[in-house]
Amino acid sequence: MTTKTRVLRSDEQRDTRLFNRLFARHWLAWTNTVLGLLWGLPWLAPVLMALGAGGPARAIYTLYRFLCHQLADRSFFLFGPKLMYTYSELLPFAPDADTWLGLRSFVGAPELGYKVAWSDRMVWMYGGMLLGGLLFALFRRRLKPLGWRRFALMIAPMAVDGGTHWLSDFAGVGRGFRYDNTWLAAVTGHLLPRWFYVGNAVGSFNFWMRLITGLLFGLTVVWLAYPVLDGYFRGDG
């Protein structure tokens, strides 16, 4: 090994150690930044569509399809009269909105606005992780790792809600026991208006369940993982 090679290798090792120290010291800031970008980028897609930059917007939609189903009737819309639409409201603008593929591929129209590049559940889930990371920055010294049993208990609502939606969706668009929720209407004696039981609109049962279970899942993941990671990077483990 020549002297020049040894010097170059030594410099590389020094730079690697420096990077590792910096990351270990600021791992939470890096993680929150990455999560913030991951959570925020889908909101840029409808902004770009509204500005006429369809190419970059569709690149974001395509990228996030690997992470989310992007069904238009379960997504937020920006720059339109409503924040969310039923599949029947989308049909005049997307004739194939009565199919899952059609709902996934439809990104919006000038009359409706344009959808965020992932569903409301993903907004709440990753938003919960980002919120959890910010809260962890304030309480990291007082928060102990979450045990596996409590972790399983706290993510169970997401598993139940997501699992029942998945089963219900086999019945087709606008069908299934988690679309009309007639079982819930029967249990509650039809005390609430029909729009609360049927569909995915803002304020409906399905909307609230995705919000609650998504936030709970995101916060629970942070509670499980971040205290362990913090101890590791501080050299406690």
Kindly state the average pLDDT of the residues 45-70. 97
**What three-state secondary structure class fits 59?**
helix
pLDDT, position 8: 47
Residue 169, pLDDT above cutoff 60: yes
Q: Which tokens hold the place of 128?
A: 């919960």
pLDDT, position 21: 66
Q: How many CB atoms lie within 10 A of CB 79?
A: 14
Kindly state the average pLDDT of the residues 84-100. 92
Give residue-wise pLDDT tens across range 193-231.
999 999 999 999 999 999 999 999 999 999 999 999 998
What single-letter DSSP state applies at residue 174?
A: T
The model carries a pTM of 0.87
Q: Which tokens hold the place of 160?
A: 């139940």
Q: Which amino acid does the sequence have at 96? A: D
Residue 17, pLDDT above cutoff 80: no
Give residue-wise pLDDT tens across range 125-155.
999 999 999 999 999 888 888 999 999 999 9
pLDDT, position 5: 56
CA distance 60 to 131: 23
Cα separations in angstroms, 59 against 41, 46, 62, 102: 11, 12, 5, 18
Among 10-14, 33-37, 123-127, 200-204, name the one with the lowest average pLDDT: 10-14
CA distance 39 to 127: 7
CA distance 87 to 134: 36
Q: What share of the chain is helix, strand, coil (3-state, %, to 5)?
A: 65, 5, 30
pLDDT, position 15: 47
Among 1-5, 33-37, 77-81, name the one with the lowest average pLDDT: 1-5
